[in-house]
Amino acid sequence: MIASNLQQLAEALIRKTISSVELTQLYLDRIARHDHQLNAYITVDAAASLAQARWADQRLAKGEGGPLTGIPIAHKDIFCAAGWRTTCGSRMLDNFVSPYDATVIRRFAEAGAVLLGKTNMDEFAMGSSNETSFFGPVRNPWDVSCVPGGSSGGSAAAVAARLAPAATGTDTGGSIRQPAALCNLTGLKPTYGIVSRWGMIAFASSLDQAGMLAPSAADCARLLNVMAGFDERDSTSLDRPTEDYCREIDARQADKPLAGLKIGLPKQFFGAGSDPQVMRLIEAAIVDYQTLGAEIVDTSLPNMDLSVAAYYVIAPAEASSNLARFDGVRYGYRTPVYRDLNEMYSRSRAEGFGAEVKRRLLIGTYVLSHGYYDAYYLQAQRIRRLIANDFAEAFRHCDLLLGPTSPSTAFKLGAKAADPVQMYLSDIYTIAVNLAGLPGVSIPCGFADGLPVGLQLIGNYFSEARLLNAAHRYQQSNPWHLRLPPAFAE
């Protein structure tokens, strides 16, 4: 059962070869058996999940199933779910039980999915290794001495070890694509604005976008069909006609399925700085794409080198304001002893936030300060526009862009924890996509020394269907994504 994709699971449920309760229990058992090695989940509530599964079985019995009815899905603990503890990986929200559902959670519930549990993550999604979580680091199922990537590291580890068939994530600077790459998963960061941010705890509002991590591109397309859609509660949500993101995947397989597709190789993705083993696999994948009929062209994103610097101004600036609400006044952590209001604030926040969060709040506060705003924040916004223009220029003569997702495979726990700049550079290939608001997907393209390597495809705005189809066609002939980490294959 754990080797089944979402379509197969849905069919099995409809044919009643398995019930939702059985399927949910199967995954709950796997979590109970394996998660002590991974720490992928922050909260599991078997009773709540099974209640939802029973309800799903009733609907299935009446033939009322939706696209995901009865399928257990894990959610990154950044999504508020009514009645569930929602921590965002922070001590600040250790005791916070959400009274409401995020739109993403609601849409999954409406599609019949079962909420399997809330996955671990870097604190407030700030990190690339899942080591900043208040609930401890998550480990990579392919090598438990390595990180799974971050910030959606819990979701990545859970799906990679098949402690969930699929999971949601959020991607502010690579937080879906990088852990997907490091854990041998397909991870999609959609176009900014097509998935509602309502109920998704904000890190950097102009960059945050919900997406998913699953074994295959076809799974991602099924999930995106559920997640995407206009939401009047999110002013940055885009009101556009509903799309079927599976339509190209479901179309008949041709001999050269990607004939006519132009894939650009931005030279900035192919310079020095990446692990040569990673680059060899990327080069091999380029050849595979040519075999599938795609035309490969050279291109350039001249300002991409500035993306990490711009990102580390804009994201902390927004975060410094977004996280101001965590003040100990109304909910969340409050220091037990304080003499006055200022002490309550400073101690609650000093004790409630971890080091990386505090570092970014300080950076963000600094760059927005009087006298520095123009030099940092406004300058970074200008760079952001330049980067978006670079992509626009590239998409004038390419349909998709291709490159590595991450410069290296999974690194050891603690290896970069002491050096924030090294850590920030793990997102060097993903950040520009967020700055431009474009969709990007990471797909498995092989292994280096037993660790997965991810290939990144970037599309123009709203090109998810084409992007996922390009990923799917590759996966049809290069099924790296079907490999399971040996320790969790049983």
Partner 1 sequence: MKEWEIVIGIETHVQLATRAKIFSASPTAFGAGPNLQANAIDIALPGVLPVLNKTAVEFAIRFGLATGSDIAPCSIFARKNYFYPDLPKGYQISQYESPVVVGGELAIQVGKETRIVRLTRAHLEEDAGKSLHEAAGHSPRGKSGIDLNRAGTPLLEIVSEPDMRSSAEAVAYARALHALVRWIGICDGNMQEGSFRCDANVSVRPLGQRDFGTRREIKNLNSFRFLQQAIDYEVCWQIATLEDGGEIEQATVLFDADSGETRAMRSKEDAHDYRYFPDPDLLPLVIDRAWVDRIRAELPELPAAKRQRLVSDYGLSDYDAVVLTSSQEMAAYFESAVAVAGKSNAKICANWLMGELSARLNREGREIDATPLSASQLGGLVARIADGTISTPVARQVFDALCEDSGVSADEIISRRGLRQISDSDALEEIIDAVLTANRTMVDEFRAGKEKAFNALVGQAMKASKGRANPHQVNELLRRKLS
User: Which residue type is seen at 80?
Assistant: C
- Residues forming a β-bridge with 114: 72
Are 65 and 59 in contact, with CB atoms under 8 Å apart?
yes
Span interacting with partner 1, options 33-41, 204-212, 403-411, 456-464, rule CB under 8 A? 204-212
Catalytic residue flag (residue 133): no
Distance CA 444, CA 451 (A): 11
CB of 379 to partner 1, least distance (A): 13
Strands annotated E in 300-405: 400-404
Are 104 and 211 in contact, with CB atoms under 8 Å apart?
no
DSSP type of residue 433: H
373 touches partner 1 by CB under 8 A = yes
Span interacting with partner 1, options 51-59, 244-252, 326-334, 353-361, rule CB under 8 A? 326-334
Instruction: Indicate if the alpha-carbon torsion angle 409, 158, 138, 78 is positive or negative.
Output: positive
- Residues forming a β-bridge with 403: 456
Answer for which of 32, 259, 324, 355 binds partner 1 (CB under 8 A) is: 324
Give me 24's structure tokens.
Answer: 């949910």
- Residues forming a β-bridge with 85: 97
Fill in the per-residue mask, 7 to 46: x = in contact with partner 1 (CB under 8 A), - = not in contact: ----------------------------------------
Distance CA 238, CA 229 (A): 8
Q: Is the backbone peptide bond immediately before 4 cis, with ω within 30 degrees of 0?
A: no
205 touches partner 1 by CB under 8 A = yes
122 touches partner 1 by CB under 8 A = no
Fill in the per-residue mask, 416 to 445: x = in contact with partner 1 (CB under 8 A), - = not in contact: ------------------------------
Distance CA 155, CA 121 (A): 8
CB of 98 to partner 1, least distance (A): 7
Distance CA 82, CA 483 (A): 35
DSSP type of residue 374: I
62 touches partner 1 by CB under 8 A = no
234 touches partner 1 by CB under 8 A = yes
* Site size with partner 1, rule: CB under 8 A: 44
191 touches partner 1 by CB under 8 A = no
Catalytic residue flag (residue 175): yes
Give me 411's structure tokens.
Answer: 């690194």
Q: Quick check: helix, strand or coil at residue 242? A: coil
Distance CA 188, CA 209 (A): 10
194 touches partner 1 by CB under 8 A = no
**Which member of 19, 151, 206, 463 is catalytic?**
151
Catalytic residue flag (residue 235): no
Comparing CB distances to partner 1, the nearer of 92 and 166 is 92
Fill in the per-residue mask, 327 to 366: x = in contact with partner 1 (CB under 8 A), - = not in contact: x-xxx---------x---x-------------------x-
Catalytic residues: 76, 151, 175
Q: Which residues bind partner 1 (CB under 8 A)?
A: 79-80, 86, 88, 93, 96, 98-100, 102, 197-202, 204-206, 232-236, 317-318, 320-321, 323-327, 329-331, 341, 345, 365, 368-370, 373, 377
